[in-house]
Structure 1
Amino acid sequence: MNMNSLQQYTSHHTSAFSPAPDQTQLTSSMNLLMLGTASGMLLHWLVWDRIGGSLGMFVWTVLSCAAMLWLNRHQNKGWRLELLGWSTVMASAALLAMLRDADQVMLLMFLVMLLSLGMMFYRSRGELLANATLPRVFMTALSLPARILLSIFPALDTVIKSSWRGGSQISAVFRGVLLAAPLLFVFVLLFASADAVFNQQLQRIGDLVNALTPTTPLITLILIVLATGLLSCSVMQTVHSSDVSVNDQSQQLWPGMRVTLGQTETAILMGSLALLFTTFVILQTSYLFGGRELLEVRSGLTLADYARRGFFELLVVAALTMGVLMALASVHCHQGLFRRLGAVLIVCVLIMLLSSIYRLNLYVEQFGLTMARVVALTVMLWLGISLLGFAATVLRGNSRGFLAGMVISGMACCLLLGVINPARTVAIININHALSQNSRLDLDYLSSLGADVVPEVLNSLSEATAPDYFCRVVIGTYSRWYNDARDWRDWNAARAAAHQRFMAHLETC
């Protein structure tokens, strides 16, 4: 737990002699607690211990977004519209998770939802997305978990002070317990590790607590705390004028960075990278785009061997280059050299990304497609957009909007991947490749992609195989793909469609 974040949330009520909260604070705290309690209970009922990417998750997300909008109903119109936009992104990601069944897609949709929440939290602190800097983004990322875990306590503190006499003393005791709990936890673990007798007594106490504590109410309580924290991330906080002035003047990714690189250091660092990248690109273009015969002669590899190599390595090169450019943009260096040589690096990396796409095309022709390469292609698209954005902003001496654009473009790429249904695309390409090459279809791999591929696989097998063999495949894979989601909370569009296809083919078998 971040102690600075803990102090931030407790300093708002630092003393037993602090004045009682006004009616507005009390109403806001009561609304947050009531909606957080309802959201936590719904989270337990709709999402907890349910199948991932289901209707229950989508319903809970929509209701939580509606609660966020209601909590901010008295804020200015601009913030409410922006909050509506991020809520729409969260609901769209939850919808795509309900429509798809591939694990990779669901993971990316959850990432989009988390980033949307982070953007809400960043804006609720009074920060402007266009003026985002690396220190502020890092501090927001570090304080977000503390916000989610601790935001229920200031609201409870406000209600206690307003509802009971002696509430200030109760709040002081509560804050003391909150400060002491992490230290007690650490020391108890150390003592248990140091002494066997102490550890045995601790285990006995733990067993007794487990026997006396009902599991379901405890889980609900934890989920209420988390849900209240999630809702609080959308509540606009007080903006200090000093923070706004610093933020509005920021033109660097890392304002205040004291590291300085002179002209010589900048020339050596950027020049050596530019020379290496340019040499590699020239060698690549001399044979990579010159046809398959020239490629095999110059590389000394067969087309199949060459197709396997280089795709992920060049993707890592692009990511590292993006990191190097952002790091150099955060220090004081010779701007003329940085901009010129940085432009050279970006052009070279963009050519490398085109080379990676060409390698991917060769791989698909030889072996088919995998989800790992589809996800990598999505990352490649995002890096390409980010590099172009870097060239249009930071290299021109103004970083305004770059970091926000980088995050938003990444979210857009993830949503685009969910829309195109990548698992189905992989299945179609691999089926066509197996038919054209008269090779064996890897059903084990396709089955690992989830229910998205079931319709395509069953259709292709029914047309290309004998009825007896097809029926054996259907019966053998039915239990692997089928999930009997009789509870409406577990409903998923891809799994429901797969179930219908299985039942239709099983009737003919």
Structure 2
Amino acid sequence: MDLRAARRLGVGAPAPGRTSRCLPAGRASRAPTVRPPRRQPRGREHGAPVHRGGDAWPRGRPRRPGARRPRGGPALRPPLAAGAYARRAGPAGRCGRDRCVRGAGPARSRRRSRTADGPARRRRLVLWSSVRRRAAWTVVSALLSVGLGALVVLRAAEWLPVLVLLVVGLLVTTALTGARRLGALLLGPPAWVLSAVRGLPLLQRTLATTRGHRLLWPVVRTVVLSAVALVVFGGLFASGDAVFGAWVDRLLPDVDLVLADTLVLRAFLWFFVAGVVLAGTYLALNPPPVERAATPSPRTVTRPWEWAVPVGAVVAVLLGFLVAQASAMWGGHDFVRRSTGLTYAEYVHQGFAQLTVATALTLGTIGLAGRVAPRRTRGDRLLLRALLGTLGVLTLVVVASALFRMAVYQEAYGYTVTRVLVDLFELWLGLVVVMVLVAGVRLSGRWVPRAALLAGASMLLALGVADPEARVAGANIERYEQTGRLDLVYLASLGPDATPVIAERLPDQLAACVLANLRHDTDPDPLWGWNLGRARAAEAVPAGSDAQSPPEEGGQGCLRVIGEDGR
């Protein structure tokens, strides 16, 4: 044993040749007996404090005489416990200095990570805060929603934002709830509305948390109460005394009634949009199980003829309709007039709406038959594919007939935006029928509702990019150049998107008559309300240009219809 170890243990080494006074006689020549150091309790290595489930004196602070031992509350005990019992969790039973003495380090690091993650959570949007934000359908829905939302800035048509909001709402709710079946897709928008009610407890807890703020709510209460007192008492005294009322009029600025109404409307819209966004955020964080809440699948029938006979009846009716269509096509206008007493244009226009409804009902028939038909044997599956495939093909013929009827009617009476939208809807129905036929090959149509929604949103996006009002105006002008027939009243009813085409392609006199109704739309928009369609219309029609006023009905001046009685 060396001298340093002996001094560390408090034992003095005897000088050579001398007998230590601490040792008995006769044992001077032997080395002093050194006892091993007393084993310290766990957690006491390197001078760390011992945690016995109670209070502990923190290391690093000298204990003054008379000072009380700090109580280990909930915030102090876990770090001390982590430092005292770090040896148990250490590798190979070792206890390092940082683990035993600085046990509060891990707790501090965890607290720091939570604080740094807070701003990232607050920056999330509705789709970004969804639990399904990494799904492919969510990404596609977000891209389509952004593209459809851009149409509101690019086009000035008043009907386009309505369709955009409907389609974007379906896309967002489908992405947030993960709906796949048709019933689940239809439950998505009601789930968004009900999220405003489901989120009320969370809003109450949030307000209760912020109510404990020492400065925020006192300032808010003071401002609100002061404003109410000023309005109530100031209004009473201003209306009761003329001099005081004159002073109040001088102090308050003059506010235009139109500007005041606009501000009130904008405030209401802001409040409404904020509520919609908050409800959508709650729907993204807590999506309801719409797939389980949708209508359950009906029981399959036991006998194949229970579903085959009704479907066969529909097939027979469609075959009779196709025979009638072939007779009218081969017989021509004379056959139609002799058989019905109608012109061919009246004949094709009369049944277009009915054909569109029949197409939608046929799709419903195919879907219902596919759910109730048995598929146990190979014969059942073959019968299902044969009947539903025949019904789908005949439905495609009905779609083609409806599109042909609308094309003939537009050639006879002109083009309108409504007819273009109906054509687009009928074309979308035909595309859905094709999807159903493809799904019938494997008798699995789980993907059809989402694919139909994706196709509809894509077609609406393509329609908005194509500028439908400008194309309708151009088609009517081409028809006027070929036939000499034009409905000036309808051209004047089109929005600013059609103004550049009308000003460029119509003769000056007719263009002046049509653009007279658009004079109030040539004023420049403010920055927050800028629109590409209105900006192009303002460039096409200068504010100082002369134009005739639109005539009253039965008056002279600009003609209402050229060469026909418009329909």
- TM (norm. structure 1) is 0.65
Partner of 1:419: 465
Partner of 2:326: 285
1:365 to 411, 414, 429: 411
2:492 to 429, 444, 447: 447
How much has 1:319 moved relative to structure 2? 1.0
Change (3 A) 1:470 1:384: closer
Structure 1 position 101 matched with structure 2 position 156: yes
Tell me the secondary structure at the aligned position of residue 415 of structure 2. coil
Partner of 2:175: 120
CA RMSD of aligned residues (A): 3.9
Structure 1 position 375 matched with structure 2 position 439: no
How much has 1:485 moved relative to structure 2? 4.5
> 1:199-218 alignment to 2 at 5 Å?
none
Cα distance in 1 for residues equivalent to 2:117 and 2:360: 44
Tell me the secondary structure at the aligned position of residue 125 of structure 2. helix
How much has 1:294 moved relative to structure 2? 5.8
Change (3 A) 1:289 1:405: farther
How much has 1:429 moved relative to structure 2? 1.5
Change (3 A) 1:472 1:350: closer
How much has 1:336 moved relative to structure 2? 4.4
Partner of 1:477: 517
How much has 1:85 moved relative to structure 2? 2.7
Structure 1 position 88 matched with structure 2 position 143: yes
When the two structures are aligned, how many residues end up with a matched partner? 383
Structure 1 position 260 matched with structure 2 position 308: no
Change (3 A) 1:218 1:313: closer
Change (3 A) 1:298 1:229: same
1:346 to 385, 392, 405: 392
Cα distance in 2 for residues equivalent to 1:483 and 1:150: 46
> 1:81-480 alignment to 2 at 5 Å?
82-123=137-178, 132-148=180-196, 150-151=198-199, 153-154=201-202, 157=205, 160=208, 220-235=270-285, 255-258=296-299, 260=301, 262-288=303-329, 301-333=342-374, 336-394=382-440, 396-439=442-485, 441-462=486-507, 465=509, 470-471=511-512, 473-474=514-515, 476-479=516-519
Could you tell me whether the CA contact under 8 Å between 1:254 and 1:331 is conserved in 2?
Answer: no
Change (3 A) 1:396 1:278: farther
How much has 1:327 moved relative to structure 2? 2.4
Partner of 1:5: none
Cα distance in 1 for residues equivalent to 2:302 and 2:542: 68
How much has 1:93 moved relative to structure 2? 0.6
Change (3 A) 1:28 1:107: farther
Task: Please say which of residues 311-320 and 329-338 is displaced more in the overlay.
Answer: 329-338
Cα distance in 2 for residues equivalent to 1:288 and 1:443: 33
How much has 1:505 moved relative to structure 2? 8.0
2:525 to 476, 480, 486: 486
Higher relative contact order (CA 8 A, sep 6+): 1
How much has 1:325 moved relative to structure 2? 1.7
Change (3 A) 1:71 1:272: closer
Structure 1 position 502 matched with structure 2 position 541: yes
Could you tell me whether the CA contact under 8 Å between 1:254 and 1:330 is conserved in 2?
Answer: no
Could you tell me whether the CA contact under 8 Å between 1:447 and 1:453 is conserved in 2?
Answer: no
How much has 1:331 moved relative to structure 2? 2.6
Change (3 A) 1:436 1:265: same
Could you tell me whether the CA contact under 8 Å between 2:496 and 2:518 is conserved in 1?
Answer: no
How much has 1:413 moved relative to structure 2? 1.8
Tell me the secondary structure at the aligned position of residue 498 of structure 2. helix
Cα distance in 2 for residues equivalent to 1:27 and 1:280: 69
How much has 1:160 moved relative to structure 2? 4.6
Could you tell me whether the CA contact under 8 Å between 1:371 and 1:423 is conserved in 2?
Answer: yes
Change (3 A) 1:216 1:340: closer
How much has 1:221 moved relative to structure 2? 4.7
- Aligned partner letter, 2:125: A
Cα distance in 1 for residues equivalent to 2:177 and 2:414: 42
1:81-136 Cα shifts (integer Å, max 9, x gaps): 6534322211111111221222333322222211221122222xxx5xxxx22443
Cα distance in 1 for residues equivalent to 2:211 and 2:301: 56
Structure 1 position 67 matched with structure 2 position 125: yes
Change (3 A) 1:284 1:235: same
- Aligned partner letter, 1:424: A
1:224-250 Cα shifts (integer Å, max 9, x gaps): 3322122344447599xxx99x89xxx
Cα distance in 1 for residues equivalent to 2:118 and 2:208: 10
1:52-85 Cα shifts (integer Å, max 9, x gaps): xxxxxxxxxxxxxx7346546xx78833x65343
Could you tell me whether the CA contact under 8 Å between 1:368 and 1:433 is conserved in 2?
Answer: yes
Could you tell me whether the CA contact under 8 Å between 2:132 and 2:175 is conserved in 1?
Answer: no
- Aligned partner letter, 2:324: L
Cα distance in 1 for residues equivalent to 2:471 and 2:267: 44
Could you tell me whether the CA contact under 8 Å between 1:319 and 1:383 is conserved in 2?
Answer: yes
Change (3 A) 1:407 1:215: closer
Cα distance in 1 for residues equivalent to 2:443 and 2:309: 21
Tell me the secondary structure at the aligned position of residue 541 of structure 2. helix
How much has 1:280 moved relative to structure 2? 0.9
Cα distance in 1 for residues equivalent to 2:266 and 2:401: 54
2:134 to 69, 72, 78: 78
- Aligned partner letter, 2:318: F
Change (3 A) 1:108 1:141: closer
Partner of 1:49: none
Could you tell me whether the CA contact under 8 Å between 1:148 and 1:229 is conserved in 2?
Answer: yes
Task: Please say which of residues 152-161 and 22-31 is displaced more in the overlay.
Answer: 22-31
Task: Please say which of residues 331-340 and 486-495 is displaced more in the overlay.
Answer: 331-340
- Larger Rg belongs to: 2
Partner of 1:176: none
Residue identity over aligned pairs, in percent, reads 22
- Aligned partner letter, 2:162: L
Change (3 A) 1:151 1:77: closer
- Aligned partner letter, 1:228: L
Cα distance in 1 for residues equivalent to 2:322 and 2:427: 19
- TM (norm. structure 2) is 0.59
